[in-house]
Amino acid sequence: MKFECGDLDRALSMPELMPEAREHFKQCAACRREYRLWTEISTAAKELHEEWESPELWPRIQRSIDAEPKPQPAWWKEWKTWAIAAVALIGVSAAVWRTWQHMAPTSPQGSTAVSNAADRDFLTEQALAEVERNESAYRQSIDKLSQLAQPKLENPASAVSVNYREKLVMIDSAIAETRANLDQNRFNMRLQTELANLYREKQETLKELLTRDQKN
């Protein structure tokens, strides 16, 4: 390619053309002058940087910052969001727990409703603690019932009583297994529901045993 004066602008934007441009400058004073000006612009530009002392500027900035209300830190904004989310979760969990409490011990059909509620696989830690407290109280009341039934179970008076004893052994075994599974995953709502149903079953069985013996 033969470098011509019209190629100068292109060469200035494309460094790979500069060797040819420099060859051209040897014969062309006008282009040489233009190129010198191009480099002088950059040199002179450095001198345009302005430096001056401003002893009052930082104190002014400091005063204006001091007059500002302290910005809320990120954790505070996040905390507000989490607090709202936690309140909503507690509300939902409480509703689930109420459903579980009312349905599980009384009606056999309740298990369907409970398992619908149990579609929410996980409870919050707080709701879970509440569930565990109630479960513990429920277990204690059933244990009292068991103590009342204990003499009848140890010395069954009839084949039916033997059946009740075997059924209770099976229920206790299922309770133990479910509780062991729950220890692996305390937040599993389906297992919590299953456990509640087993306790209900045990309660019903003990009631039947005691009332039957009273009738007899």
Burial of 146 (0-12, 13-18, 19+ CB in 10 A): middle
Residues 20-59 as x/- pattern, contact with another protein by CB under 8 A = --------------x--xx-xxx-xxxxxxxxx-x--xx-
Q: Which of 29, 74, 159, 180 binds another protein (CB under 8 A)?
A: 74
Q: Tokens at residue 27, please?
A: 């014969």
Stretch that binds another protein, among 68-76, 137-145, 176-184, 189-197 (CB under 8 A): 68-76
Binding test (CB under 8 A) with another protein, winner from 18, 61, 87, 162: 61
Which residues touch 79 (CB under 8 Å, ≥6 apart)?
none
* Site membership for another protein, residue 60 (CB under 8 A): yes
Rounded Cα distance, 11 and 13, in Å: 5
b/e for 159-196, b at 16 or more Cβ within 10 A?
A: eebeebbeebeebeebbeebeeebeeebbbbebbbbbb
- Binding string, 8-27, against another protein, x = CB under 8 A? -x--xx--------------
Judged by CB under 8 A, the residue of 6, 55, 71, 151 near another protein is 71
Number of H helices, E strands in the chain: 9, 0
64 contributes a contact to another protein by CB under 8 A: yes
- Interaction site with another protein (CB under 8 A): 9, 12-13, 34, 37-38, 40-42, 44-52, 54, 57-58, 60-62, 64-66, 68, 70-74, 77
